[in-house]
Amino acid sequence: MIMRSTPSNEILIAADLGTQKMAVAVAEMAGDGSLTLLGVGEGVSAGMRKAEVTDFGHARAAARMALADAERRTQAEVSELYLTMSGTHLASRNESVRVATSPDDEHRVTEGTLEELQQLAAHLPLPRDHAILHELLRGYSLDRGVASPNPLGTHTEQIEAHYHLVTGKRTRLQTGVQCVSDQKIRVKGCTFSSYASGLAVLTEEGKQRGAVVIDLGAGVTDVSVWRDGAVVHSCVHGVGGDHLSQDLSIGLEIPYARAEKVKRELGTVTLAAEEQDEKITLSREISFDGRTFYKEAMVQVLQARMAEILEIVRDDIEAQGLWSAVEGEVVVTGGGARMRGLARLASEILPRPVRIGRARDFLGEQGDLERPELAAVLGTLRYAAEHEMKEAGRPQGLKKLSQSIGRMLSAMRFLA
């Protein structure tokens, strides 16, 4: 992922291989971890369905085009990157691990103690065909259950670490990575889409108070729930923007390609009173005789499906008993967030205030930050920066140990 550097700056690259679009974002990281966005390369997806690779050759070629576009736009040579992952095969759960501290160190929590906890989490039992994508730390507990956000240096006979694990089917993760690594590009790490989106669009206060991030993709809808600065629940629902296009195609009796175009250019889930009698006319083309329909008919179709998606998200969070933990807002990202009237519709269905996500705290090119469909890839850049800063700040002995274990775990999991 690091292609060129100055004495204090590094170039970081992230890629998102989506169902409809592939995006590659390039940023420069300064010594303090701040990011300057240099540009975003994009390409039309191929060989993808529900955020998973279904035709490897087409998906690899589409990824190559997006990577080439990023190189052209930013003059960065891509040799390493971080990759955004999604798909209905992903699963999550919360787990805790515990270790006893050494009396030789006066029961003091050291870097080694925290490293041991992380490795225990990384080796928790999984379904035979699954691999860990993330061990996301939720916090620590000391003796007698006393919570500690930063226990380093404290004295306790035992310490417990709480993690949110995101796992996926090993073969499907391997296939996604292989689309990039086949092009002699090292995949240095992977992120879950809605977790990455949260890193891009949420403030630190929002993560603490509780927030929901909904990433509306073309093939799937990813969700993450945050509380006390960490992810406490995440899931992938197998419904997305493609379903809206399919519904339009059937409901309005038009070809799927025209339905997709209508959704992108004219789609809205709200209708003003003065638009009730407005009509939309589609011109005649080869194998299509043209079509005229009321705008209200289009809105009814889109509104029904979008409401269903939002209700699925609402009901899942309710089933987890987590709405009470969300004191803040719901932030919607992904290509589906561009649908006109979405925030208003979502506010009627979800029990918290809703806004459309905008990536935060990037210097440089600001136009791309306004695009909700880029939240995941931009958040993956932030994940990459955090990872690089953490590795750079480790004591040298622990850093070598971590790198060694990292290589071992990569071989055991899915990263080549």
Write out pLDDT tens, residues 205-220.
Answer: 999 999 999 999 999 9
Whether residues 102 and 210 share a domain: the answer is no
The band of 400, judged by pLDDT with boundaries at 50, 70 and 90, is very low
* 113 within domain boundaries: yes
User: For residues 236 and 251, what is the distance between their CA atoms, to the nearest angstrom?
Assistant: 26
Whether residues 163 and 239 share a domain: the answer is no
260: CATH:
3.30.420.40
Q: Give me the pLDDT at residue 391, please.
A: 78
36 contacts: CB under 8 Å, gap ≥ 6: 27, 28, 30, 362, 363, 364
The yes-or-no verdict on residue 402 having pLDDT over 80 is no
Which pLDDT tens digit goes with each residue over 355-383? Answer: 999 999 999 878 999 999 999 999 999 99
The yes-or-no verdict on residue 4 having pLDDT over 90 is no
Q: Give me the pLDDT at residue 176, please.
A: 94
* 40 within domain boundaries: no
* 293 within domain boundaries: yes
* 286 within domain boundaries: yes
* 276 within domain boundaries: yes
Whether residues 287 and 238 share a domain: the answer is yes
DSSP codes, 93-105: EEEEEEEEPPGGG
Give the domain extent around 162.
91-168
- Split into its structural domains, the chain has a count of 2
129: CATH:
3.30.1490.110
Work out the mean pLDDT of the chain and round it to a whole number: 91
Task: Answer with the one of 118, 153, 168 that is the final residue of a domain.
Answer: 168
Whether residues 127 and 246 share a domain: the answer is no
Whether residues 217 and 332 share a domain: the answer is yes
Whether residues 211 and 282 share a domain: the answer is yes
3-state secondary structure of 258: helix
Q: Give me the pLDDT at residue 408, please.
A: 33
* 22 within domain boundaries: no
Model pTM score: 0.91
* 207 within domain boundaries: yes
Q: Give me the pLDDT at residue 395, please.
A: 56
Whether residues 153 and 247 share a domain: the answer is no
Strand-strand pairing, 10-17 and 35-44 = unpaired
The yes-or-no verdict on residue 298 having pLDDT over 80 is yes
Which pLDDT tens digit goes with each residue over 303-328? Answer: 999 999 999 999 999 999 999 999 99
